Structure 1
Amino acid sequence: MSALEAALAAGRAAANQLQREVIQLHRPGEREFDWETGTDTPAEGSVLYEGRARVKASAQSKGEEVDAGERNVTLREYVVSVSWATEPPITRPEPGDLITVNSSPDARMVGLTLWVTGLQYSSTATAWRISAEDRS
């Protein structure tokens, strides 16, 4: 094992220890209009990943207020780190997919929903990082 491989293995093991949340990464289904009730209902989506992760607010995130419909929304950036050794899902995550925090040592994070905004890939990374934002 080369010095680089040894350093990456140590870094990946350390990154795994920081993954204290359990998340679900899923793609929402298409919305369907019900002509009888006159309502829009989302179809069932697909789960792309479920398991341990680190959910951390981005250091650069200051919270940007924007108008969404008829209300103000504050956008906050997060980085969600999943083990580098995780098998990639059959379908790659893409912007618009959702991440839900199902459990965390910080009870305030449970139920947090994040929208995927981007992905980061690298053969020398210590974790698979997903950029996301909180739109509350």
Structure 2
Amino acid sequence: MSALDAVLAAGRAAALELQRETIRLYRPGEDGFDWESGTDTPDPGTALYDGRARVKPSAQSKGEEVNAGERNVTLREFTVSLPWSTPPTVVRPVPGDVIDVVASHDTRMVGLRLWVTGVQFSSTATAWRISAEDRS
């Protein structure tokens, strides 16, 4: 093992210790309509990842107010870090995928819904980082 590999292994172990939230990452599906019952049939979407993560506001995120329909919405940027060891079989998230915080030591984060805006890749990273935004 090279010196760089040893440093990366230590960094990845440290990053894993900071991943204290449990998230569900999924791709939303198309809702349908049941003509016989007259009700909407929500599609739960396709699960991409369920497990540990670190969810933290981006340092430069100040919140940007925008109009969405007839409502003002504040966009706040977050970085979601998944374990480096996440299997490569996990489908890569794309903008529009959704991250729900299922559990956290900070109970105020539970129920937070984030929308994926980008994904970062690097062979020298300590975690797999996903850019997302809160649209509340």
With the shorter chain as reference, the TM-score category is: over 0.9
State the distance in 2 between where 1:35 and 1:18 align.
48
State the distance in 2 between where 1:132 and 1:62 align.
14
Following superposition, the deviation at residue 60 of structure 1 comes to 0.7
State the distance in 2 between where 1:39 and 1:76 align.
34
What does residue 61 of structure 2 align with? 61
What does residue 108 of structure 1 align with? 108
What's the TM-score, normalizing by structure 1?
A: 0.93
State the distance in 2 between where 1:35 and 1:65 align.
38
What does residue 27 of structure 2 align with? 27
What's the TM-score, normalizing by structure 2?
A: 0.93
Following superposition, the deviation at residue 91 of structure 1 comes to 2.5
The worse-fitting range, judged by mean Cα deviation, of 67-76 and 25-34 is 25-34
Q: Which runs of 5+ in 2 are unaligned?
A: none
Q: Which runs of 5+ in 1 are unaligned?
A: none
> Does the CA contact (< 8 Å) of 1:24 and 1:99 recur in 2?
yes
1:124 aligns with 2:124: yes
> Does the CA contact (< 8 Å) of 1:28 and 1:42 recur in 2?
no
Number of aligned residues: 136
Tell me the alpha carbon deviations over residues 101-133 of structure 1, each in whole angstroms, 9 at most, x when there is no partner: 000000100000000000000000000000000
Percent of residue pairs identical: 74
State the distance in 1 between where 2:34 and 2:59 align.
43
- SS for the counterpart of 2:29 is coil
State the distance in 2 between where 1:6 and 1:32 align.
51
State the distance in 2 between where 1:40 and 1:133 align.
27
The one-letter amino acid of 1:31's match is: D
State the distance in 1 between where 2:21 and 2:45 align.
22
C-alpha change, 1:34 and 1:87, in structure 2 (3 Å) is: same
Tell me the alpha carbon deviations over residues 27-78 of structure 1, each in whole angstroms, 9 at most, x when there is no partner: 1111224456766543231110000000000001000000001100000000
The one-letter amino acid of 1:78's match is: F
Taking only aligned residues, the RMSD between alpha carbons, in angstroms, comes to 1.5
State the distance in 2 between where 1:39 and 1:57 align.
37
